[in-house]
Amino acid sequence: MKADKVKNFSAAICIFFVFLGANKLFAANIAVDRLNLKQGFIPGGQHLDLRDLGCEAADLIPSDESAVTSLAEGLDGKIYGGTTGRACHLFVFSPLLNRVKNLGKIDGHQSIHHSLVVAADGSIYFGTALNELDQYPISEPQPGNSGIIKALWSDIEKRYSKYEGGHLYKFDPSKEKREWIDPQELCQAEDKGVPVPHNGIYAMTINNELKEIYGITYPNGHFFVYKMDTGKFTDVGETYKEKVFCGPDNRSLRGISRALVCDNNGFVYGSADDGAIFRYDPKKAKIENLPVKIPAIYHSVVEVFTKDENGVIYGGTSEGYLFRFEPEKMKVANLGKPYAQSRIRGLALGKGGLLYGAAGERTDHCPIFSYNIPEAEFANLGVLKVVREPYYIWVGLQLDAMLAANDGVIYIGESERMSHLFIYCP
Tell me the domains of the chain and their CATH numbers: 65-345 (2.130.10.10)
320, 339 Cβ separation under 8 angstroms: yes
Looking at residue 45, its pLDDT comes to 52
Q: How far apart are CA 36 and CA 370, in angstroms?
A: 10
Q: What is the CA radius of gyration of the chain?
A: 22
Looking at residue 41, its pLDDT comes to 43
Residue 62, φ and ψ in degrees, nearest 5: -65, 155
Q: How many CA atoms does the CB half-sphere of 53 hold within 13 Å?
A: 33
The number of angstroms, rounded, from the C-alpha of 333 to the middle of its chain's C-alpha atoms is: 24
Looking at residue 144, its pLDDT comes to 79
Could you tell me the end-to-end alpha-carbon distance of the chain, in angstroms, rounded to an integer? 55
Q: How far apart are CA 47 and CA 424, in angstroms?
A: 6
pTM, rounded to two decimals: 0.88
Looking at residue 298, its pLDDT comes to 87
Q: How far apart are CA 181 and CA 89, in angstroms?
A: 11
Looking at residue 401, its pLDDT comes to 98
The kind and range of the H/E element at 12 are helix 2-30
Looking at residue 39, its pLDDT comes to 38
Chunked mean pLDDT (size 10), the chain, 426 residues: 40 37 31 33 66 91 97 97 98 95 96 98 98 88 83 93 97 93 95 98 98 98 98 97 88 93 97 97 97 94 96 97 97 96 96 94 93 95 89 92 96 97 94
Sign of CA dihedral 344, 348, 351, 352: positive
Sign of CA dihedral 6, 9, 13, 18: positive
